[in-house]
Every structure is written in C-alpha cells, then in structure tokens.
Structure 1
Amino acid sequence: MHTTRDGYRVQTNMRRDNFTWQTKLTKEKYELTASVLFTDMYYQTPGALTLTEFNNDPKAARPAGGGFPSAVNAKAAIFQKNFLAGINNSFTISPSVKNNTVIYGSYSQVKNSAIRNYERRTEPSFGGRSVFSWRNSNTQTDWDIIAGAEFQQGYFNTQVSKNKNGNPDTLQTNDDIVTSNLSLFTQASVDLGKTWSIIGGFSVTKTKLELTRLSSYPVTTQSRTYRNELAPRLSVLKKINDNIHWLASVAKGFSPPTVAEVLPSTGVISTYLEAERGWNYETNFRFFLLKSRLKLELTGFFFKLDEALVQRRDAGGADFFINAGDVKQKGVELHADYSRSFSGNIISKFNVRTDFTYNHFRYGYFVKGTDNFSGKTVPSVPSAVFAILAEVYSYQGIYLNTNYYTASSIYLNDANTAKAEPYHLLGCQLGWKKREKGPFRIKLYAGIDNLLNEKYSLGNDINAAAGRYYNAAPNRNYYLGIAVQWLKQSN
C-alpha cells in the first residue's frame, strides 16, 4: 500500500509504503501461519509552536531561536524502515490440551534529522512465545488453565551527530544497547454453573538493559536489571440474569522503562529510572436489552500508580523522563452499542456506538527541586471525552459512516499553567465494497475530516521548554482511496 500526503503545516510531507504477506497451512492437528510486514516511511517533523505562534499562523513550522535552527533549515524529518517476520504454530496435543508457539524477528532502521542533532538507529531483535492450554468441561464446572513464557532479545546501536543542514556532521555519541526480557505467566478460569466465572493468574517479568558508550574513553558499560515481584490479577463475573452481568477485577502491574526512556533524545543515559508499579481496581455492569441488539456498559476504575514516568522536553525539543512519585487515576466509562440487521433490498445493517469517559487523574506526592506538583492534574489527559459512530450498510456494498468526537481542555505542563482548548470533530465516509467470490476484495471510499473546520492542537509536546506545546491539526480536509486485497488460503 502506498500513501502520500503534502501535510497541513509547513514541513509535514509524508510518504509511506507498506507490504504485508500471510500464508496459512491447516492440517488435522496443527495450523501453521507465516507473516511478513515491511514498512518504508518518511515524514517531516515541523516542531511545536508557542501559543503566540500557534494563534498567528498555525501552519508554520518551528522557527529558528535559542541557538537552534528552524525545522525547515534543519530539514527535520524521520526516515524509518521496519521489517517484521513471524511463524505461528497452533498444535492440538489432545482434545483437552493445546499449544500455541510463535517465533518472530524484526529489524528497524531509523534516521531522525532533528533541530538539535541527527540520530541514526539500527534495532535488530528476535523473540518467541509459547503457551500451553488445558480445558476440562463437565455438566457443572468448566476449567481453563494456561501457562507460558515469552523471551525477547535486542541488539541496538544509536549514533547521534551534529545536524548540518539535514545531514550528519560531527559524531557526538555512539551507544550499543543490549536488551532482554523474560516473562513467565499462568492463568486459571473456572465457570461455576451458569452464573459465576472466576479468573485468576499471575506473571513474573525480568528485564535487563546494558548500555555501552563507545564514543567516550575509557569505554564503560552501564546496566540495570528490573525484577518484577509477583504480579497477581483476579476477576469475578456474576450473571445476575440473562440481561445483567456484573464484573469486578483487581490487578497489579509492573512496567520497566523502555530503551527510548533510558536513552532519550537528549543522549543522557538514564539507568537511574525506576519501573512503574501499581494496583488497578475495576467494577463493571453490562446490560443486554432489546433482544441483545442494545448493549450498555458502565465501568468504574481506580489505578494507583507508583514511580510514574513523566516526559519532559528541553529547549531543543529533545525529550527526557523522570519518575513522578505516585499518580492516582480514577474515572467512569460509559459505552453503548446498538446493532440491527434488516431483511430487504436496500439496507442490510445499521450500527451505532457511543462512548463517554470521565477522568480524574491527579499527582500524589510529586516534588522536583523547588517545584511542588502534588495534587496537580496530570497533563495531556482530558477530564471528559465523548465519541459516537453511526454506520449504515446496503446489500449493494455501499456504506456510510459518520463520527463525532469531542474532548475537554487539557493541561500541557505539570504546573497546570498552560492549556489546550477543547475541540469538536465531525467526519464522514462514503464507500463501496465489492463482495464477489474469489480471492480479490476491492474497496473504494471518500470522506471528510474535521467537517466543522475546528482550529485545535493535537499531539501536544507536554512539559516542553519555552512554552512550545502546540502542534496544529489540519482544518477541514478531504480524502479518497482504493484498497485491494488478495486472499488465498492453503489447506
């Protein structure tokens, strides 16, 4: 698939080429699937604007200033090539025991021409995952047990040079990164009659990072190992009746810093970062009405996150991360889904989906130097989000969908002194899908985004220096396309 776009702002051209291939071989006791994905992408990066620059000319790219060139003069852009391949085997050992094993490998090559430097990364990696499952059923109780492991290994290299008009110049840093991750997990679920279901499990994860700075002498290696204490989870489902279900769950999470967080674009090795940990509590009610054509869900959640990783940006736009102590995340989610099929000559199906979320995300104790952010609202998270999607399908393959999305204002820094205003987005798409026998599927479509012509900022740079938070999104825009699929299954 080939995609190209001129972009709304200066320095926002984009080109992307995707190739995907998948084949499947099915036998009596096993199913073997092989997949390949290749992506070649180039996209320009305009840089964030101050509020004054955003209001004066939202299409502008970041200008020169503070000793840094403009995004245009730096030819700010990212060149990225990704290759991913994997083989998956599902094997039936016995009527009650099955195994699913996948082996995969990937290779990424990234060049990032930024206003402060020129970065080149190569990221080869491989991994595997194997899961055994056992199922036992009788008239009163159904048991399902799974157990497995996953291993990932990566050998990365990152070189950062001075940027001279969009080309690498003097080498600044050269780092080798070795990363490994091992996860062990198990889960058991039991259905007690027709009214109760219980699921319990736990996982253990070990992550190790080794970073060697080859450009500094003597050459030294910094390493950090993140060992996960037992991370349990438990959920209980009660079917009050055929139309009302209640679900409650509690789970402990563990997330070590990624390579991009330990070695951010500032080039400062940050093995001092701690892993995020937290407990999540949820309760959920599900209602099935109008012969299950209408489904309603009400969910409440509370997540206590310790050592939360928070992004910061320096004057050159480079990001780095710090641990922010604890964060309390609580909220309510509402979901409604109505679907109906018709027997006739015109309309075949009609769907409406709507979602509303209320978020109350606050820092607990968070003091950094002389700044006290305790009790402040976590930036980048809107307190309220509402979305609705309506779809109509005809027997002739013609379809129409309309979507509406709105989000409340968000804070752009930890101090809560800057905001991005709320916005309302309306879009629609008209298309046609060819439904004929054979391996080919054809889809033609055209649509409009931002029908209300809203001026808003999306993908904001949170905690950016000098108030450079704003990345203008496109005004009303139009698109059309064609998609062709060729499907073939081997037996």
Structure 2
Amino acid sequence: MKNIYIPVLFLVTSFSSHAQENDSIQLNETIIQTFHRTTPILETTTSLNSINKHQMQLNHPERLMESFNTVPGVKMEERSPGSYRLSLRGSTIRSPFGVRNVKIYLDDFILTDATGNAYLNLIEPQFLSSIDIMKGPQGGEFGVETGGVAVLKTLKKDGVKASIGTGSYNQFHENINFNKQIGNHHLHLGQSHYQSDSYREQSAIKRNSFLLKDQWNYKNENELNLLLLFTDLQYQTPGGLTYNQMQADRRQARLATATLPSAVEQQAGIKNKTFLGGISHLWKINPNWKNFIMLQSSFTDFKNPFISNFEVRKENNFQGRLYFEYEKQLDQIKLNTRFGTELGLNKTSFRNYDNNAGTKGNPQKFDDLQTYSGYYYINQHANIANQWFIDASLSLNTMNYNWETLYPIVESGKKSFQMQWLPQLGVTYKFMNNWSVRGKIAKGISSPTTEEVRSSSQEIQQNLNSEYGWNKEIGIRHSINQWFFEFTVFDFDLKDAIVRRQDENGNDYFINSGGTKQRGIEFQLQSKPFNFDHSIFTKGSFFVSGHLYDFKYNQYKIANNDYSNNIIPGISKFSIQNSISIELLNKIQVIWSNYFNSKLYLNDANTVEEKEYIIGNILVDTNFKIKKSSLSIYTGVNNLYNSKYSAGYDLNAFGNRFYNPAATINFYFGTRFTL
C-alpha cells in the first residue's frame, strides 16, 4: 500500500508547485442544482457530494460502481454483474440486492417505488451527466429514508455521442445519445446495449435500455418535462460460496448440497423488464410564486428462478409529487418556502412455483400486496446577508400494506405503520468568502419494503416495524484557488434497525434489531484541472476521499445470542480512495484510481472476518479533433493489482456462504464519437 500512495503524494506536491490555474470558475463557486433549486456548495447545510463528469469516467462500461465509490461514506457493491447494492453510511445491512433505505431520483422523477425499493441497475451510465448525493436522513421534501438521497441527472448538452467497445469475458457494449435544442424543446434520445459472459460461472448479463426525454420551455420560464424509460435486464446469479469453495475455485457458482441443487442446475437468475413514464410541469405563477407537479407510472415484469423456487412478480407503481414555492427578498434576508406532498401506490403480485431446472413447476405460494405511502412537508430556507444559511423542515409520513394470500390457503390482513413527524434543522455560516462551517440535526424513518414484508421466505412479516433515528452532524468546507476540502463528523442512533437473515434454503427474511450506534468521520480533497507549463504534461487533477467509522449494534439479542456492542457486518472501519488524472500532449488522458477498504465482519456474531484489500484501475483515453467533431479511443484495466476480493458479500449467510468473488485483472477498450 505504501508503494501505491508514494506516487500519489508526489503528484499532489507537483500540482501545488508547478501548476497554473486553468479554470476561472473556482470550486467554491460550484453550484448544486436539485429540484429546480440552485445552491453554491459552500452554502449547503447538508452533507452533499456531487459526482462530476470526471468521476463518471471512472466507471466500467455497464455500471456506476467506481464513481459512486469515490464519495466518502458511499459504497456500491456488486454481488455479481447486474446485482448491485448501494450503501450510504452503512445502509446495506438490510439489502440482499437492489437499493433500499436510499431515495433515488432521476431528474424530476422518482426511481424509488412507493414501498422504498429502487432498481438502480436499470439505468445506463452513459445516459447520465452527474449525480448528487445527500447522506443521512434528509426529511422534508425527500420524505422517508434514513440512508440518504441520490439524484441522477441526465445529459443536457447538445450533440450526438456514440460509443462501442469490447473487453474481457466476451464483453460487448454500444450506446448512442442524441441531444438537441429544437426551438423551445430540448430532446434527449438514448439507446444502449451491454452483454458479457462475466467472470464466474452462471453470471452472464445482458441489458437493453431506451430513454426519451423532452423538456419544453415556454413563456414566463414555465417548463414541461416528459420522461419515457424502458429497460430489459437479464442476469444470472451464481450465488455465494464458502471460504473453502472460493479457495478451491473462485469462478464456480454455488454448489449443490445434499438437499438442494446447484445454481447452474436451477438456472438461477433475474429477468427484469421495467417501463417508467412520467410528466412534470413547473409553473412560474408570478415573480414570487411557483408551482411544481409531477405524475408518473411504472410497470415491472420480474422473474427470478432461484435455488428453492421460481418467483414471478408483477409490480405496478403510481406516484405523484406536488409543491408550491414562495420566494421573497427582505432587505438582506432572502426567504424561500416550499410546501407540498409526495404520494405513491404500489400493487405487487407474488407467484412462487417449484423451480424445475429453470422452468416453472407446481405452485408454492400466491400473494398480492398493495402499498400506500406518502408524506406532507414544509421547507423553509433563509439566506441572511449571504453569510448565514438556514434550512428547516417538517414532514408527516405514512405507509400501510394490505395483503391477501390466494394459495395454498386464502387469508388476508393489513399493516399500518405509525405516522411520524420528521423535523430537520441545518445551519451554515460562511466566512472569509472561502470557508464555511455547518451543523445539522434530523430525524429519519424507513419502513419495510414489499420485498421485506414478503421476502423470498414467502412469509408475510407482520411483526416487522419501521426503523427510525436521529442524526447529528457538523462539517467544515474550504475552497482556495483550485482546491476544495471538506470534513464531516456525524452521530446517528438508529432504533429498530432492519437486518437481513437467511434460512437453511438460502431464502432471505428480515427482523428488527434493538438498534445501532453509528459514528463516523468523512473527508475529501479535490482539485480543479490544472495547466502545466510543460510540453508533454499539459493538464492534471487530483481527488482523494475516505471515512473512519465506528458502527455497532445496541441492545441486539436473538434467542440466546447477544450481539450488543458487536460491530455491524459488511462495513469497513476505514476506507480511502483517490484518482489522479494526467493529460499528455493535449490529447491523451490517463486516469489512475485506487480504492482501499479495511477489514470487515461478515456476520452479526463477528466470528468471520474479511481481510483488507485494495483495488486499482487505470484508463487511457486518446482524443482526436476532427473539425467540430471528436473521436476518442480508450482502453482500461480493472483490478490492476490482481487483488482477490469480493465486491459484495452475503451477510449472515446460512452455511457460511458469504463470498461472491469479483473478477481478477481484466481489460476493456473501445471508441467514442462526439458530433
């Protein structure tokens, strides 16, 4: 590890000593724009990070994992290609797959369904320009979550971008994005295809995605947006291995046991076809008042042949968002008030059958669930003399389920979760033009998703309750010339934390623990691009971030087992990640990135430990200007140091099948054309 970070320190010194400023826009002027509200980074009261264009380049072609993992406190995990989890400050303890406890938005629209589950793997990375991440409970206009919020932003710059490439394990990908301002309309058409046999047995993936966005700006700055998204995703699931099985053959899929067949025999995998359509409208009523309304619907056809059963799900979602905004300047005080609501309805049918080598057999269990969720909120923002910035909000949240079992018996019931008020207060003080300090306190709540109330164990978990807690944090930000630094300390006490368990058949089920105590430090240092006074080394930039966590259970007992004060599994105590970008001869860009994670535990008892690991990636991108167009040829190496690790673990797995080995050193290359 020392050998890796010596060059990093050398390059930091070189940047400071020999670089000249390149961009007139300083980092303290970086603007965050979310939900039609713009805020300079130094004035925000929340723990907010933006994944920019440079960080988006770090991704392997089909995923967002590398760019997400540059953000301190954020960990995107890959159990197998296509199967992703997103953790904000340790929120994946309850997610065997998918994204829970983190609210995901796509521009004006909601990717998280009405129950709190999001299929982030449906999104083609090449459709996106940037991502904003808010860590910890946000409350207010973001409603129900305790992990945080991620806002994905689609491309908006005019032009045609096309790429095609290949790589290890028979990987092939192509995509095209067309963005054009046509009168008062801005049109975005996107198409992509990705496929790969992948590293492990039974882990092939194929994804086709299509995107249509139309933004119509008409009189008085009014705005009408249309979104249509369709993704057909298919990926195989190799399953977890024991440590000895992994040592014998990292690439094998889950093996058969005396009572259960193997993943290959059962053709284990996921087929997900999802359509999302929505329309939003921003109305500038007068100079002081605005109104926003959004309506959307989605349908998911989900099939999951698993070891013990074949599940078929049909998911229908209907969601809406409405707010009014009032803004007023009073001498040196600028006030902004928003009040509104977000409502959702989810209807899901579960049909479980015997799995006969990848085909449906006799019925096992049929259930229908209907979920109503919503919240009402008011947000108040105040800017006092461009020095004090205050955000206060209050929301009232509700969720309930109606369920009906149709087979093998007929029964029904309902579950209502207690309505809770969620207050939030954040204050930022800016001084000397390039420093700011902030403090925030917020309450968050996250109710069980449909897949937790009715998990793969096929039981309706009527005793499962919402998790909730208070988060307190303070932070400091500083921007000087081309450098930006941020340091945050937080303390989060979570009650009735939802945790995942597994039965002897590998089926998931969920319980409430007594709670968790989560304390941590997060930091980041980044630069804007620098110009070098050198004929070969022409530009450069640098980024480093990390965390130091102390996450433990509090009063957590199961039967005769007492896990109180044990370290929460799946979360490394320390991580650090960096990227260095060097431009050569004004046309060749080299990006070298590293991700280090300290050891972690794989079960609640803290009896199984995974050692630390470091991952290195490198990308070389050569750009050629052709009149008004550009052609780039790129090649990348993932897992540069050939580390043996798992990119995602099955925590608390029955039979100690914790491990999902990630690919060793692998390669990809391709070309991009921009018009």
TM-score with structure 1 length normalisation?
A: 0.94
2:204 matched to 1:34?
Answer: no
Structure 1 Cα separation of the partners of residues 543 and 602 of structure 2: 30
Q: Counterpart of 1:356?
A: 546
2:242 matched to 1:242?
Answer: no
Task: Write out aligned runs for 1:164-243 (5 A).
Answer: 164-217=356-409, 219-243=410-434
Q: Counterpart of 1:142?
A: 334
Task: Write out aligned runs for 1:301-316 (5 A).
Answer: 301-316=490-505
Task: Say if 1:377 and 1:110 are closer, same or farther in 2 by CA, change over 3 A.
Answer: same
Q: For each residue in 1:279-328, what CA deviation from the matched residue of structure 2 results, as whole angstroms up to 9, or x when unmatched?
A: 00000011122x2x111111000000000001111222211111011100
Task: Write out aligned runs for 1:474-489 (5 A).
Answer: 474-482=663-671
Structure 1 Cα separation of the partners of residues 631 and 225 of structure 2: 24
Structure 1 Cα separation of the partners of residues 334 and 674 of structure 2: 40
Q: Once structures 1 and 2 are overlaid, which stretch shifts more, 13-22 or 222-231?
A: 222-231
Q: Counterpart of 1:329?
A: 518
Structure 1 Cα separation of the partners of residues 306 and 285 of structure 2: 53
Query: Structure 1: which amino acid aligns with 2:472?
Result: Y
Q: Helix, strand or coil for the counterpart of 2:479?
A: strand
Q: Per-residue deviation at 1:189?
A: 1.0
The CA RMSD over aligned residues, in Å, is: 2.0
Contact (CA 8 Å) 1:335, 1:353: kept in 2 or not?
Answer: yes
Structure 2 Cα separation of the partners of residues 131 and 398 of structure 1: 47
Q: Counterpart of 2:475?
A: 284
Identity of aligned residues (%): 30
Q: Per-residue deviation at 1:410?
A: 1.1
Query: Structure 2: which amino acid aligns with 1:231?
Result: L
Query: Structure 2: which amino acid aligns with 1:328?
Result: K
Q: Counterpart of 1:78?
A: 270
Contact (CA 8 Å) 1:380, 1:410: kept in 2 or not?
Answer: yes
Q: For each residue in 1:395-449, what CA deviation from the matched residue of structure 2 results, as whole angstroms up to 9, or x when unmatched?
A: 96653322100101110000000012211000011225677898x9876532110
Q: Helix, strand or coil for the counterpart of 2:518?
A: strand
2:508 matched to 1:319?
Answer: yes
Contact (CA 8 Å) 1:36, 1:86: kept in 2 or not?
Answer: yes
2:589 pairs, out of 385, 399, 402, with 399
Structure 2 Cα separation of the partners of residues 13 and 482 of structure 1: 23
Query: Structure 2: which amino acid aligns with 1:421?
Result: K
Task: Write out aligned runs for 1:11-30 (5 A).
Answer: 11-29=202-220, 30=222
Q: For each residue in 1:144-193, what CA deviation from the matched residue of structure 2 results, as whole angstroms up to 9, or x when unmatched?
A: 11111111111111101111111110100111111111111111011121
Task: Say if 1:482 and 1:223 are closer, same or farther in 2 by CA, change over 3 A.
Answer: farther
Structure 2 Cα separation of the partners of residues 84 and 117 of structure 1: 28
Task: Say if 1:481 and 1:159 are closer, same or farther in 2 by CA, change over 3 A.
Answer: farther
Structure 2 Cα separation of the partners of residues 108 and 394 of structure 1: 46
Structure 2 Cα separation of the partners of residues 433 and 304 of structure 1: 49
Contact (CA 8 Å) 2:398, 2:420: kept in 1 or not?
Answer: no
Task: Say if 1:272 and 1:93 are closer, same or farther in 2 by CA, change over 3 A.
Answer: same
Task: Say if 1:102 and 1:434 are closer, same or farther in 2 by CA, change over 3 A.
Answer: farther
Contact (CA 8 Å) 1:410, 1:421: kept in 2 or not?
Answer: yes
Structure 1 Cα separation of the partners of residues 252 and 632 of structure 2: 35
Q: Per-residue deviation at 1:210?
A: 1.2
Q: Counterpart of 1:69?
A: 261
Q: Per-residue deviation at 1:214?
A: 0.6
Task: Say if 1:148 and 1:444 are closer, same or farther in 2 by CA, change over 3 A.
Answer: farther
Contact (CA 8 Å) 1:199, 1:235: kept in 2 or not?
Answer: yes
Q: For each residue in 1:321-342, what CA deviation from the matched residue of structure 2 results, as whole angstroms up to 9, or x when unmatched?
A: 1101110000101111111343
Q: Per-residue deviation at 1:194?
A: 2.9
Task: Write out aligned runs for 1:354-393 (5 A).
Answer: 354-392=544-582
Task: Write out aligned runs for 1:335-484 (5 A).
Answer: 335-342=524-531, 350-392=540-582, 398-432=588-622, 444-482=633-671
Contact (CA 8 Å) 1:333, 1:358: kept in 2 or not?
Answer: yes
Q: Counterpart of 2:484?
A: 295
2:463 matched to 1:272?
Answer: yes
Query: Structure 2: which amino acid aligns with 1:404?
Result: N
Q: Per-residue deviation at 1:243?
A: 2.7
- Computing the radius of gyration from Cα coordinates, the structure with the larger value is 1
2:243 pairs, out of 36, 44, 51, with 51
Q: Helix, strand or coil for the counterpart of 1:265?
A: coil
Structure 2 Cα separation of the partners of residues 394 and 89 of structure 1: 45
Structure 2 Cα separation of the partners of residues 263 and 98 of structure 1: 41
Q: Once structures 1 and 2 are overlaid, which stretch shifts more, 428-437 or 109-118?
A: 428-437
Task: Say if 1:112 and 1:413 are closer, same or farther in 2 by CA, change over 3 A.
Answer: same
Structure 1 Cα separation of the partners of residues 527 and 356 of structure 2: 56
Contact (CA 8 Å) 1:420, 1:457: kept in 2 or not?
Answer: no
Q: Which has the higher helix share?
A: 2
Structure 1 Cα separation of the partners of residues 322 and 624 of structure 2: 38
Query: Structure 2: which amino acid aligns with 1:192?
Result: I
Unmatched runs of 5 consecutive residues or more in structure 1: 487-491
TM-score with structure 2 length normalisation?
A: 0.69
Structure 2 Cα separation of the partners of residues 192 and 452 of structure 1: 51
Contact (CA 8 Å) 2:364, 2:408: kept in 1 or not?
Answer: no
Structure 1 Cα separation of the partners of residues 264 and 630 of structure 2: 41
| Structure having greater relative contact order (Cα 8 Å, sep ≥ 6) | 2
Q: Counterpart of 1:489?
A: none
Q: Counterpart of 2:316?
A: 124
Contact (CA 8 Å) 1:315, 1:464: kept in 2 or not?
Answer: no
Structure 2 Cα separation of the partners of residues 202 and 259 of structure 1: 26
Aligned residue pair count: 482
Unmatched runs of 5 consecutive residues or more in structure 2: 1-191
